[in-house]
């Protein structure tokens, strides 16, 4: 007996290929079986069944018995999931360790030197471009925040406050610890108050709200050290893959245009209200 197609699809989501999914589900139904028996049950070629079972054993989904003919024992699903989670954690830690080792190596010093040499040849006007997709935008912003020396100013949306908390908390904390002044302007409501609570220890956050004297501009932007700007070019309703932004290292745009806009909004904004002070919907 083989599991339903829906269940087989779920097994694909956790990293099992087509043959592995079929044989593992069949093995669960038998408890103990040979490669030949499983091949007949699943229509997986017998020559491939041995390799598939070997792979399942390496991933923690089966155990190989020392018997003739060779038999295989299924691992209960919950335990198998924990086995593969443990493997992924170990593999991830090994990759992180390699990256940390490389980061501290002389090779990176050499690459940094090459970068500095190349930067000297670049016209500041060329240090600009477009970013496509939420992931690329988040990575670029993270890099900007890491390079901040004096200030980080962020104007964002109600949903953007969550993005800052989910994707940039550690970087903003490091910036604050290094003496960088971090300021965030965003609408703070009952829906995103938890995200404000998570960010208020790494940045000064003020509530952004339209009033009779000041119309708040739509969009999101960040200014780092008054010499670099990242500006959203799309509405938040677009798919994450279609999100786009413009970035530039123009100190003229950052210091003379965007920074005054931010400062004006900042000076007219206040600390967020407490949850109990938010307007309650009428019954």
Indicate whether 138 and 270 sit together in one domain.
yes
Indicate whether 268 and 138 sit together in one domain.
yes
| pLDDT tens column, 71-100 | 999 999 999 999 999 999 999 999 999 998
The CATH code of the domain that includes 16 is 1.10.10.10
Range of the domain at 171: 129-277
Amino acid 69: pLDDT = 84
Distance (Å, whole) CA 239 – CA 52: 38
Amino acid 109: pLDDT = 84
Is 209 domain-assigned? yes
Is 100 domain-assigned? no
Amino acid 282: pLDDT = 46
Residue owning tokens 């070019």: 233
Amino acid 243: pLDDT = 82
Which value, to the nearest 10 degrees, does the dihedral of the CA atoms of residues 188, 165, 10, 35 take?
-170
Is 101 domain-assigned? no
Indicate whether 205 and 145 sit together in one domain.
yes
254-283 core/surface letters (b: 16 or more CB in 10 A; e: else):
beeebbeebeebbeebeebeeeeeeeeeee
Q: Which residues pair with 230 in a beta bridge?
A: 222, 247
Using the 8-state DSSP alphabet, how is residue 272 labeled?
P
Is 61 domain-assigned? yes
Indicate whether 67 and 180 sit together in one domain.
no
**End position of a domain, from candidates 45, 60, 80:** 80
Q: What is the mean pLDDT of residues 189-209?
A: 89
Query: Does the pLDDT of residue 278 top 60, yes or no?
Result: no
The CATH code of the domain that includes 264 is 3.30.870.10
Indicate whether 137 and 238 sit together in one domain.
yes
Indicate whether 75 and 146 sit together in one domain.
no
Count up the domains in the chain and report the number: 2
Q: Which residues pair with 74 in a beta bridge?
A: 62
Q: What is the mean pLDDT of residues 191-214?
A: 83
Is 97 domain-assigned? no
Indicate whether 146 and 273 sit together in one domain.
yes
* pLDDT greater at residue 84 or residue 240: 84
Indicate whether 172 and 230 sit together in one domain.
yes
Indicate whether 137 and 72 sit together in one domain.
no
Is 102 domain-assigned? no
Average pLDDT, the chain: 85
Distance (Å, whole) CA 162 – CA 149: 24
Is 109 domain-assigned? no
The answer to whether residues 246 and 219 touch, using CB atoms and an 8 Å cutoff, is no
End-to-end CA distance of the chain: 56
Indicate whether 140 and 76 sit together in one domain.
no
Residue 168 burial (C-beta neighbours within 10 Å; 0-12, 13-18, 19+): buried
Query: Does the pLDDT of residue 32 top 60, yes or no?
Result: yes
| pLDDT tens column, 92-123 | 999 999 998 988 888 888 887 876 776 565 55
Q: Of how many residues is the chain composed?
A: 283
Helix extents (H) in the chain: 5-13, 18-30, 35-42, 46-59, 77-103, 106-120, 134-147, 158-177, 193-199, 251, 259-267
Q: What is the mean pLDDT of residues 11-30?
A: 92
Q: Which two tokens stand for residue 19?
A: 């043959």
Query: Does the pLDDT of residue 276 top 70, yes or no?
Result: no
Query: Does the pLDDT of residue 3 top 60, yes or no?
Result: yes
């Amino acid at each position: 007996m083989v599991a339903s197609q829906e269940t087989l699809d779920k097994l694909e989501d956790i990293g099992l290929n087509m043959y592995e999914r079929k044989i593992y589900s069949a093995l669960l139904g038998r408890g103990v079986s040979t490669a030949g028996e499983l091949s007949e049950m699943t229509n997986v070629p017998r020559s491939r069944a041995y390799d598939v079972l070997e792979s399942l054993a390496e991933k923690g989904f089966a155990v190989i018995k020392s018997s003739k003919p060779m038999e295989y024992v299924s691992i209960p699903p919950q335990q198998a999931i924990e086995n593969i989670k443990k493997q992924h954690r170990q593999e991830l830690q090994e990759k992180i360790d390699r990256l940390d080792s490389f980061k501290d190596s002389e090779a990176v010093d050499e690459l940094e030197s090459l970068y500095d040499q190349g930067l000297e040849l670049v016209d500041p006007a060329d240090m600009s471009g477009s970013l496509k997709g939420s992931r690329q935008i988040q990575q670029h912003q993270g890099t900007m925040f890491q390079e901040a020396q004096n200030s980080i100013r962020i104007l964002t949306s109600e949903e953007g406050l969550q993005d800052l908390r989910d994707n940039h908390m550690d970087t903003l904390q490091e910036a604050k610890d290094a003496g960088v002044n971090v300021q965030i302007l965003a609408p703070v409501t009952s829906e995103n108050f938890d995200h404000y609570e998570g960010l208020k220890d790494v940045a000064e956050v003020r509530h952004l709200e339209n009033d009779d004297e000041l119309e708040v501009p739509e969009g999101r932007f960040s200014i780092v050290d008054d010499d670099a700007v990242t500006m959203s070019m799309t509405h938040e309703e677009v798919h994450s893959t279609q999100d786009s932004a413009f970035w530039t290292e123009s100190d003229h745009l950052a210091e003379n245009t965007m920074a005054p806009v931010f400062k004006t909004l900042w000076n007219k904004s206040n600390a967020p209200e407490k949850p109990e002070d938010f307007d309650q919907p009428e019954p």
